[in-house]
Amino acid sequence: MKTLQEFYEEVKTSDELKKALAEAAKSGKITEFLKAHDCDATADELKEFVAGKVAQDKPVELSDEELENVAGGTGTGNSVGCSGMCSTLCSDWACLC
């Protein structure tokens, strides 16, 4: 069985696997996809792993508006939410949010 790190490295270098993973994510079949590719992990474990890699590999920068909202500004409540993480994840693999 492959570890999540081994699976990550494999997918990172294969456009075909990236596309297949995106399709699995869209259809809610990530766990099945992992098992089919000899990786014994769940969709939640993969999401957590990828989020950790993204945080480790790519520092997230906030816009001035987002910083103001974090500092107690008048934000709409959704300025940093899922869209920021999704765009980062999507650029590496597939949208897993």
Asked if residue 90 lies in contact with residue 54, where contact means CB atoms within 8 angstroms, the answer is no
Q: What are the residue boundaries of the structural domains of the chain, listed by start?
A: 1-60+83-97
Q: Interior CA angle at 45 toward 40 and 49, to 5°?
A: 110
Q: 74 or 37, which is more confident? A: 37
Q: 86 or 3, which is more confident? A: 3
Asked if residue 76 lies in contact with residue 65, where contact means CB atoms within 8 angstroms, the answer is no
45: left (phi over 0), alpha (psi -120 to 50) or beta: alpha
pLDDT tens per residue across span 39-91 = 999 999 998 888 887 667 665 566 777 666 665 545 444 434 343 444 434 55
Please name the residues in contact with 2: beta carbons below 8 A apart, sequence gap of 6 or more.
Answer: 10, 37, 38, 39
Please name the residues in contact with 21: beta carbons below 8 A apart, sequence gap of 6 or more.
Answer: 11, 30, 33, 93, 94
Q: What was the pLDDT predicted at 41? A: 93
Check: pTM over 0.95? Answer yes or no. Answer: no
The answer to whether residue 36 scores a pLDDT higher than 80 is yes
